[in-house]
Amino acid sequence: MTTSILETQALTKIYRSGDKTLTVLDNVNVTIQPGDTCAIVGPSGSGKTTLLGLCAGLDRASSGSVFLNGVRLDELTEDQRAEVRNQYVGFIFQSFNLMPSLTALENVMVPLELRGEKNVGKRALALLEKVGLAERKNHYPAQLSGGEQQRVSIARAFSNQPKILFADEPTGNLDEETGSHIEKLIFDLNKEASTTLVMVTHDMELAHKTQRIIQIKGGKIVQERLVNESVSARR
């Protein structure tokens, strides 16, 4: 058991194709306290998206463990992991991952419906308003630009009021103005609801706005440094 919101122990992911193996994550140990903010940086292909997916319980490790809010994910079934995700996790995907057959509004409604909440349509619309997309609510993902799809994905990630938000290049496809608006929404979530933030980014300016920068290369953590005071240290 652990009091950390997120802890990985010797997390390893190996892909096999034929007789070749590719070690994408190699013994990664990360511990994040509730309410903290952290950036994961590193070159393309270094394992950042893979790490995020394992931490959020979207994928399974080859070995090692992930504890999310004290729950050991590798001991759970697929359904149980989905339940944990719905309960605690928001995820902004690098590739958006919207459901193509659902409108923008319906995509944001899904996590709320899964939780059996009330006034789902109204709340989803308010979230779309926050990301500046209310007037696009009836559009399907294919009718939206990349940046617009990213903003729907952000509204969806906010909808279940997650304890921890994983964001994979959340501002990567946005213009500067929209990007800084989204950045503010994400950091506000941290300030107002103490949502823990784990962000993958190539934007070092954004990384420096978090408390801790974890640099990975070839699937290993090569550097970890505090750049701002953490919430847990201030307590």
Site string for ligand ATP, 48-87 (x = CB under 6 A): xxx-------------------------------------
Say if residues 199 and 37 touch (Cβ distance below 8 Å).
yes
* Per-state percent for the chain, helix, strand, coil, to nearest 5: 40, 30, 35
Q: Does 44 bind ligand ATP (CB under 6 A)?
A: yes
| Residue span binding ligand ATP (CB under 6 A) among the ranges 1-9, 40-48, 79-87, 104-112 | 40-48
Find the largest Cα–Cα distance for the chain.
53
Least distance to ligand ATP from the beta carbon of 6, Å? 17
Least distance to ligand ATP from the beta carbon of 161, Å? 26
Characterize 98-110 residue by residue with b for buried, 16 or more Cβ atoms within 10 angstroms of its Cβ, and e for exposed: beeeebbbbbbbb
Interface residue with ligand ATP, options 35, 47, 162, 179 (CB under 6 A): 47
- Sheet of 89-92: strand order equals 89-92, 164-168, 196-200, 37-41, 212-217, 220-226
DSSP 56: T
Pairing of strands 63-68, 71-72: antiparallel
Site string for ligand ATP, 86-105 (x = CB under 6 A): --------x-----------
Residue 45 or 70 with smaller CB distance to ligand ATP: 45
Least distance to ligand ATP from the beta carbon of 171, Å? 14
Least distance to ligand ATP from the beta carbon of 126, Å? 31
Say if residues 66 and 72 touch (Cβ distance below 8 Å).
yes
Give the integer Cα–Cα distance in Å for 189 and 170. Answer: 14
Q: Does 20 bind ligand ATP (CB under 6 A)?
A: no
Q: Does 150 bind ligand ATP (CB under 6 A)?
A: no
Say if residues 155 and 88 touch (Cβ distance below 8 Å).
no
| Residue span binding Mg ion (CB under 5 A) among the ranges 35-43, 77-85, 92-100, 116-124 | 92-100
**Token pair in block for residue 199:** 């962000």
Please report, as ranges, the residues that interact with Mg ion according to CB under 5 A: 48-49, 94
**Chain residues that interact with ligand ATP, rule: CB under 6 A:** 15, 22, 24, 42, 44-50, 94
